[in-house]
């Protein structure tokens, strides 16, 4: 599975920058504001932002599936927040429940899935209204308004996310007219403008083309334009760069950062590549077997990872100037969702596991510093007394 093996990441440099000791605050304070000739580089200037407004707050999200092997619960007790205009990076190996989590937000789970009753999902709309996503009916008008209009979604496969039998313009204008009270002509103008914005040349010609008429990179851009055409306040990007080659990946990432900044969107960016996360996310949530094991500001989590799993993921990232170094991916296999380990879900692969504790009781989330949470007995004062 390509998903589980991080390829050579072009972001090693950005990552190492983040991992270096913190520059003292005086230096940060006098940092030059970005100018047109010197655009903001890899690390995000999050220290200079105004205190953000929480637009999405997920608490205690658990999702189960009825399967032939019985009931499985691939997402358990997940909680996170997204701030308006900021990016949350959701990172974890394939199968850790990232996609399922975001499908729950969009009410897109299949019929055999159920969200636990104690789940709470609060969302604040563009108009400032509070919506309890957990209580929305999947087919309801309110859910449909949320989809696309408030929360946009882009996927790993740009080709597969377009219908091959309608033009790009047809699909974009449909989305625009579903969420904005505009006629055909205005919808078309909006679509062309959006295509232009994502860097597609000759947008007024491209709009009438079919998805198969575009090259891979263009298709990815068109898909982003499609998801943004109805003006969502939150964008969910589910591994949008995983299927792309390294150069295009860098371009798309740059485009997404730019769009997010210009449109002021919140974003949930899913990937299994911590190097990509370091480029784009303000906050990180690390997922393992359906649980968020560590979360916090990107810079802090990357520089000072608390959870053994996060530490393992960071070691697995290739560095550009030590290509001869072998990657050290997190050793061991992910347990299957039907055999979720008792206690800390990571204990079957954890080198630091405390026998008698980690395999008995799941650790609660503790906060070693403000906004930096971790679920690991090593950081929980009560850990050693459990046994």
Cβ at position 273, least distance to Mg ion in Å? 13
Contact 209, 168 (CB under 8 A): yes
User: Binding of ligand ADP at residue 67 (CB under 6 A)?
Assistant: yes
For residues 341 and 334, what is the distance between their CA atoms, to the nearest angstrom? 10
Contact 91, 269 (CB under 8 A): no
- What residues between 333 and 352 interact with ligand ADP by CB under 6 A? 337
User: Binding of Mg ion at residue 298 (CB under 5 A)?
Assistant: no
User: Binding of ligand SF4 at residue 378 (CB under 6 A)?
Assistant: yes
Among 350, 366, 372, 373, binds ligand SF4 (CB under 6 A): 350
126, 196, 256 from 199: Cα distances, Å: 26, 5, 11
Q: Please choose which of ligand SF4, ligand ADP, another protein, none residue 350 contacts, taking the beta carbon within 5 to 8 angstroms, the exact cut-off set by kind.
A: ligand SF4
Provide the 8-state DSSP code for 374.
Answer: E
Among 62, 87, 161, 298, binds another protein (CB under 8 A): 161
Provide the 8-state DSSP code for 74.
Answer: E
- What residues between 140 and 159 interact with another protein by CB under 8 A? 144-149, 152-153, 155, 157
User: Binding of ligand ADP at residue 85 (CB under 6 A)?
Assistant: no
Angle at 168 between CA 165 and CA 172, to 5 degrees: 115
**328 Cβ contact list (under 8 Å, min separation 6):** 312, 315, 316
User: Binding of ligand ADP at residue 328 (CB under 6 A)?
Assistant: no
- From the centroid of its chain, how far is CA 293? 15
User: Binding of another protein at residue 198 (CB under 8 A)?
Assistant: no
User: Binding of another protein at residue 227 (CB under 8 A)?
Assistant: yes
User: Binding of ligand SF4 at residue 308 (CB under 6 A)?
Assistant: yes
For residues 102 and 271, what is the distance between their CA atoms, to the nearest angstrom? 12
User: Binding of ligand SF4 at residue 354 (CB under 6 A)?
Assistant: yes
In 68-209, the DSSP E strands lie at 70-83, 87-91, 113-115, 120-124, 130-132, 151-154
User: Binding of another protein at residue 346 (CB under 8 A)?
Assistant: no
For residues 34 and 39, what is the distance between their CA atoms, to the nearest angstrom? 5
Partners of residue 75 on adjacent β-strands: 63
User: Binding of another protein at residue 240 (CB under 8 A)?
Assistant: no
Which of these segments, 87-95, 195-203, 315-323, 353-361, binds ligand ADP (CB under 6 A)?
Answer: 87-95
Which residues contribute to the site for another protein (CB under 8 A)?
106, 108, 139, 144-149, 152-153, 155, 157, 160-166, 171, 174-175, 178-179, 210, 212, 226-227, 230
Which residues contribute to the site for ligand SF4 (CB under 6 A)?
307-308, 344, 346-347, 350, 352-354, 358, 363, 376-378
Which residues contribute to the site for Mg ion (CB under 5 A)?
99
């Amino acid at each position: 599975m390509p998903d589980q093996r991080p390829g050579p990441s072009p972001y090693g440099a950005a990552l190492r920058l983040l991992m270096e000791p913190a520059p003292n605050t005086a230096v940060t304070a006098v940092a030059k504001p970005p100018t047109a000739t010197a655009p903001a580089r890899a690390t995000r200037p999050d220290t200079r932002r105004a205190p953000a407004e929480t637009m999405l707050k997920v608490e205690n999200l658990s999702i189960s599936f009825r399967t032939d092997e019985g009931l499985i619960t691939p997402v358990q007790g997940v909680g996170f927040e997204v701030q308006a205009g900021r990016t949350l990076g959701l990172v974890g190996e394939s199968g850790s429940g990232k996609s399922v989590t975001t499908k729950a937000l969009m009410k897109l789970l299949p019929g055999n899935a159920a969200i636990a009753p104690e789940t709470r999902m609060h969302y604040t709309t563009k108009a400032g209204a509070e919506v309890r996503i957990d209580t929305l009916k999947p087919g309801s008008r309110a859910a449909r308004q949320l989809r696309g209009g408030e929360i946009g979604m882009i996927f790993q496969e740009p080709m597969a996310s377009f219908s091959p039998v309608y033009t790009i313009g047809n699909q974009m204008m449909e989305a625009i007219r579903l969420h904005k009270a505009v006629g055909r002509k205005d919808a078309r103008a909006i679509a062309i403008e959006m295509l232009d914005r994502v860097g597609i040349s000759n947008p007024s010609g491209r709009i009438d083309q079919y998805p198969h008429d575009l090259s891979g990179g263009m298709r990815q851009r068109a898909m982003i334009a499609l998801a943004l055409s109805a003006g969502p306040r939150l964008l969910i990007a589910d591994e949008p760069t995983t299927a792309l080659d390294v150069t295009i990946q860098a371009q798309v990432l740059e485009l997404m950062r730019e769009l997010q900044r210009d449109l002021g969107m919140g974003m949930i960016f899913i990937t299994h590549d911590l190097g990509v996360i370091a480029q784009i996310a303000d906050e990180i949530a690390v997922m393992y077997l359906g649980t968020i094991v560590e979360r916090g500001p990107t810079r802090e989590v990357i520089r000072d990872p608390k959870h053994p799993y996060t530490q393992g993921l960071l070691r697995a990232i290739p560095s550009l100037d030590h290509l001869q170094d072998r990657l050290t991916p997190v050793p061991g296999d992910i347990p299957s969702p039907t055999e979720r380990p008792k206690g800390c879900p990571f204990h079957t692969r954890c080198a630091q596991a405390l026998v008698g504790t980690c395999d008995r009781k799941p650790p609660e989330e503790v906060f070693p510093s403000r906004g930096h949470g971790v679920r690991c007995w090593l950081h929980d004062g009560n850990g050693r007394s459990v046994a």
